[in-house]
Amino acid sequence: MIVKLSRNDAETRQAVSAALEAMGAEVRCLEFPFGCFLAGLGLENPPLKKIQAMAGVAWARAAGSKPILAAREQNPHGSLVQLGRMEIGGEALALVAGPCSVEDREQIFSTARFVAAYGATALRGGAYKPRTSPYAFQGLGQEGVELLKEAGLEAGLPVVTEVMDPADVATMAPFVDCFQIGARNMSNGPLLKAVGRAGKPVLLKRGPSATLAEFVLAAEYILLEGNAQVILCERGIRTFETATRNTLDLNAVPVLKSMTHLPVVVDPSHGTGRRDAVSPMARAAVAAGADGIVVEVHPDPARARSDGEQSLHLPEFRRLAEELRPVAEAVGRRLDLPETLPFAPNQVPLLRRAPGWGGSR
């Protein structure tokens, strides 16, 4: 059962919690910008009417196979997720860019510097990599996480990186501004719960065979841990089509917007697996109403240790940002690009020395 409070004071919370506990429920208090909720879990036939009649209770609903906390009606104007200096879900679009994998210091620093200069609002990069083959590059692990954060700090960008094991959440947390749950882990309950408890923004990717209803329920797992800072990311589903690596399902954008109040971003790199389709699909995503774009960028895609064929070259990223801007404006959104460009796109200064480290430890 989920209970929405109409009065969020300690007295009400305590009284309702006590009533739920007396019924045998496990009780959680969930305070979100869009309201305060109490979850009473584990009851088979919860006495909704009795709770609903209590003072300070707006409503009480049986929880079942549909999302409640993530449902659009809880926040019809849409939720904002703060990531660095920007609010994802607002008028301005998010532009999350970076390499598939953090490979070495030079690669991640030069990419970070470049994408920051051309309008990225966050830096992405994988350190724990889910790979189909156990023989494929599995990422640099915690070392990669720390390198990414260092590069993000230097470039002034918050960082997003994937976590695969609940046991890694605590170690990674000081270096991570937003945890990514990868597509293969969308239904990984223990992991969803762990990032829910970490209290940081979560970029949740849609599973390759997940329906949109299941996708929103995966987000509900995170919200039920008290964390509403969830960004949904469409990244392609698995279909019979082989011309693209996945079938980027942009229908997800308007449909998710009608189902949930959470921001929705789109990853055309994984969604298509083809460099030549990334920019058209990024433009399409913005036109469909996405709140941002997640895109793979690499200083030398031909030598990338993963996903090279779908990573943009640095100059292509600049062009992408420039192409996205008018589309954003055509649909009443904004893409804030820097006025002055510190260097020519094909002359990205490579890092000569390690910058002073100032992590958030």
Q: Which of residues 218-237 bind a second copy (CB under 8 A)?
A: 220-221, 224, 237
- DSSP string for 296-326: EB-S-GGG-SS-GGGPBPHHHHHHHHHHHHH
Looking at the chain, which runs of residues are DSSP E strands? 2-5, 26-32, 35-41, 57-61, 81-83, 86-88, 94-98, 122-124, 159-162, 178-181, 202-205, 230-234, 264-266, 292-296
> According to the binding rule CB under 8 A, does residue 165 interact with a second copy?
yes
> According to the binding rule CB under 8 A, does residue 33 interact with a second copy?
no
- Binding to a second copy (CB under 8 A) within 326-345 occurs at 326-327, 329-331
> According to the binding rule CB under 8 A, does residue 116 interact with a second copy?
no
Task: CB nearer to a second copy: give 95 or 155.
Answer: 95
> According to the binding rule CB under 8 A, does residue 185 interact with a second copy?
yes
Q: Which stretch binds a second copy (CB under 8 A): 82-90, 111-119, 215-223, 349-357?
A: 215-223
> According to the binding rule CB under 8 A, does residue 310 interact with a second copy?
no
CA distances from 141 to 14, 82, 273 (A): 43, 26, 24
DSSP one-letter code for 185:
G
Q: Which stretch binds a second copy (CB under 8 A): 88-96, 159-167, 169-177, 341-349?
A: 159-167
Out of 7, 251, 303, 309, the only residue in the binding site for a second copy (CB under 8 A) is: 251
Q: How far is the CB of 175 from a second copy (least distance, A)?
A: 19
Local structure of 168: helix, strand or coil: helix
Out of 18, 58, 136, 354, the only residue in the binding site for a second copy (CB under 8 A) is: 136
> According to the binding rule CB under 8 A, does residue 161 interact with a second copy?
no
- Residue 7 contacts residue 49 (beta carbons within 8 Å): no
**φ, ψ (nearest 5 deg) of residue 35:** 140, 165
- Residue 280 contacts residue 320 (beta carbons within 8 Å): no
Size of the site for a second copy (CB under 8 A): 73
x/- letters, 45..84, toward a second copy (CB under 8 A): ------------------xxxxx-----------------
Q: How far is the CB of 68 from a second copy (least distance, A)?
A: 8
What is the C-alpha separation between 110 and 81, in angstroms, rounded? Answer: 27
